[in-house]
Amino acid sequence: MGKVVQRGTSLGAQVADVLRQRIVRGELVPGSRLTEESLAEEFAVSRGPVRDAIRQLSFEKLIRVRKPRGIYIVGLSDDDLDQLYSLRGALEHLAVERAMRVGDDARWRASRDAVSRMMAAADEGDHETFAVADLDFHSEIYALADHPRLEAAWQQYLPTFTALLEVTINHDDDLHGSAADHDRLYSVMRSGDVAAAREVLGAHLDGARARLSLELAARQG
């Protein structure tokens, strides 16, 4: 039975989300071939949304379109992970430094709330809720940076990092360590210690990158 998408939101984005998750999880392996026809049938949509999804995933370098033969899965390599996390590091270090200029406590409440939600989700062992709060926390950093172009760059890659987080978070049976990392990052950002914030953020992103590398190595046997 085909995958049913939700009406009322972008169908192309929904198709892209499902395919992206399959690629990042390794369910669609590099070199495998898809067609517009098969995807339209599976998702019960016209070819328009399928083409929108293909354009997005091609931009993210997860697939390659070879006309007229079809759509081929590229997947993720260690080099891809290096590029993605070095890019995120550059973006997020800048966002953190700019966010730390904000002294208004009210503007930091959403970040504090995200940390609290992560801690509660860790207590419950609720990976899905934890992931949402995790991404909300990082998105808030970009919002606090007051740099619309920087925030737009994050939003452009957010779907990819959402799919990557779903993989890395499942490596953690106990989520309390990750929750503590975010609590530490929040604290150093509020303290005004830029060097400490850069160190904590760098270690956090390096840890995520390392877990993904282990996942890739396990798939490759």
User: For residue 125, what is the domain's CATH number?
Assistant: 1.20.120.530
Per-residue pLDDT reduced to its tens digit, 27-48: 999 999 999 999 999 999 999 9
This prediction's pTM: 0.87
In a domain, residue 5? The reply is no
Least confident segment among 103-107, 121-125, 170-174: 170-174
Domain that holds residue 87: 78-220
| Measured CA angle at 159 (ends 154, 57), to 5 deg | 110
133, pLDDT greater than 80: yes
In a domain, residue 2? The reply is no
Name the domain boundary from 27, 46, 73. Answer: 73
220, pLDDT greater than 80: no
Both 93 and 187 in a single domain?
A: yes
Contacts 24+ apart (CB under 8 A), 204-212: 205/85, 205/88, 205/89, 205/92, 206/85, 207/181, 208/85, 208/164, 208/165, 208/168, 209/81, 209/82, 209/85, 211/167, 211/168, 211/171, 212/76, 212/81, 212/164, 212/167, 212/168
Both 127 and 146 in a single domain?
A: yes
Give the model's pLDDT for residue 35. Answer: 92
Give the model's pLDDT for residue 1. Answer: 42
Number of domains in the chain: 2
CA–CA gap between residue 143 and residue 138 (Å, rounded): 9
| The amino acid at 182 | H
Return the percentage of the chain with pLDDT > 70, whole number. 95
| pLDDT, averaged across the chain | 92
Look at residue 37 and give its three-state secondary structure.
helix
Name the domain boundary from 73, 99, 126. Answer: 73
Least confident segment among 63-67, 110-114, 130-134: 63-67
149, pLDDT greater than 90: yes
Per-residue pLDDT reduced to its tens digit, 159-212: 999 999 988 887 778 999 999 999 999 999 999 999 999 999 999 999 999 988
CA–CA gap between residue 69 and residue 73 (Å, rounded): 13
Both 57 and 136 in a single domain?
A: no
